[in-house]
């Protein structure tokens, strides 16, 4: 199992438009059976920028890639992705595999935003 976290800094003055757009993205995700792990969540960073945190879960690393690639290659997916650039200042993507604490493997790295 993989947890995918996307941390998006919303462009200044675009909060209302970003969150309106996000509702359409959530509808697209739901139509394509993307498994959300809650959220999207909202916070502010030290500079006062508004941050959206999106979380999803996937069975494999390959699934994580193919699900989004397939979804965003549809006409609706392309349309929504084309609307994104002016709404977003920055994006950071991280993914984490399930960590079996009973095994000998070290814990996953902490995300660096």
What is the count of structural domains for the chain? 1
pLDDT category, 108, cuts 50, 70, 90? Answer: low
Contact present, 80 and 28 (Cβ < 8 Å): yes
Query: pLDDT value at position 61?
Result: 86
Indicate the range of 24-33, 41-50, 53-62, 100-109 predicted with least confidence. 100-109
Residue 42: strand pairing partners: 52
CATH code of residue 30: 3.30.70.100
Residue 20 lies in a domain: yes
- Is position 107 within any domain? no
| Domain extent for 42 | 2-96
Q: What is the 3-class SS of 33-65, one letter each residue?
A: CCCECCCCEEEECCCCCEEEEEEEEECCHHHHH
Q: What is the pTM of this model?
A: 0.83
Residue 33 lies in a domain: yes
The answer as to whether 13 is a domain residue is: yes
Sequence-distant (≥ 6) Cβ neighbours of residue 79 within 8 angstroms: none
Instruction: Tell whether 74 is covered by a domain.
Output: yes
110 is a domain residue: no
Residue 113: pLDDT above 80? no
Q: What is the pLDDT of residues 66-102, one digit of tens each?
A: 998 999 999 999 999 999 999 999 999 998 887 666 6
């Amino acid at each position: 199992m993989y947890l995918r976290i996307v941390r998006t800094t919303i462009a200044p003055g675009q909060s209302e438009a970003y969150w309106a757009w996000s509702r359409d993205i959530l509808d697209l995700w739901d139509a394509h059976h993307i498994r959300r792990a809650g959220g999207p969540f909202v916070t502010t960073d030290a500079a006062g920028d508004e941050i959206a945190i999106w979380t999803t879960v996937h069975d494999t690393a390959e699934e994580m890639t193919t699900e989004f690639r397939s979804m965003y290659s549809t006409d609706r997916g392309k349309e929504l992705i084309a609307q994104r650039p002016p709404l977003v200042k920055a994006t950071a993507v991280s993914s984490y595999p399930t960590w079996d604490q009973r095994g000998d493997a070290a814990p996953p790295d902490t995300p660096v935003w």
